[in-house]
Amino acid sequence: MVRRHPAGKEQGATLMVWLVALGITAVFLWLLSDVIWQGGQAVNGAFLTQAPAKAGLEGGIAPILVSTGLVLGVCIGVSLPLGLGTAVFLTEFSPQRSHRVIRLSLDILAGVPSIVFGLFGNAFFSRVLGLGFSILSGGLTLACMVLPILIRSIQVGLVNVPREYRQAAAALGLSRLGTLKTLILPAALPGIAVGILLGIGRAIAETAALIFTSGYVDRMPTSLLDSGRVLSIHIFDLAMNIPGGEQNAYGTALVLVILLIVINTLVSWFAERFRQSKLQIL
């Protein structure tokens, strides 16, 4: 009986990993090229600065961009402090024996379909709190959606900080809060950045939850209590409900993809820059 050499198995596994990676990359590039090819014809200065006209068949997406930015701002402004504080408390100050139940609960919440969050947001934020169909309702609903992902990602980042950092800080007489502020959080910034990016990625592309909370209105919002249509809902409406709206739907999708790439690049750059500056000071 001939035994296969371990090196051959490693090479086979490496080849499979590369094939899967290349396949995923090829699919992504195909989708991206299709969006660029179809949507590039619609995107111009007027498309980005004008309001929609004739149900989106003409005009641009300026109010939709503003509504998307406001909804995303509310979402991150609420979820980031809560997520960071919860992750820090669970990792640094709470008993370890309670973590299994909390982790399981967060994982279950992260897997709940977005339509369920939409129905919850409509029932609680829109009706019970009286916010109606508004940007604030949509942003708070998205905050509930991204909190489990944000907490778990930040937890992983904090846990991966070497234990020696904490021991060295304790030996130097630093308080726990001082250690957390000057050493642990800067070292955990890559994990925090990953959580923010995952949260933004889910929030900015969300459709189902926002249909029931932020609404369909495509006019320029004047406050957080106004209804506002986000990019994902605009794409859905043009593609599914408006005959002949496919080209503007592709153009809006291209703007959404570009926005995601820009946000991801900026968050990663700022996180790495801040982490390096903090560690150099130390």
Tens-place pLDDT, residues 178-202: 777 777 888 788 778 878 888 888 8
Residues 211 and 263 in one domain: yes
User: Do 144 and 210 touch, CB atoms closer than 8 A?
Assistant: no
Residues 80 and 21 in one domain: no
Residues 36 and 86 in one domain: no
Q: Is residue 1 part of a domain?
A: no
Residues 14 and 73 in one domain: no
The total number of structural domains in the chain stands at 2
Residues 168 and 241 in one domain: yes
Residues 14 and 67 in one domain: no
Distance CA 218, CA 55 (A): 9
Residues 36 and 89 in one domain: no
Tens-place pLDDT, residues 135-183: 999 999 999 999 998 888 888 888 888 777 777 777 777 777 777 777 7
Whether pTM > 0.85 for this model: the answer is no
User: Do 165 and 203 touch, CB atoms closer than 8 A?
Assistant: no
Containing structural domain, residue 15: 6-42
Q: Is residue 220 part of a domain?
A: yes
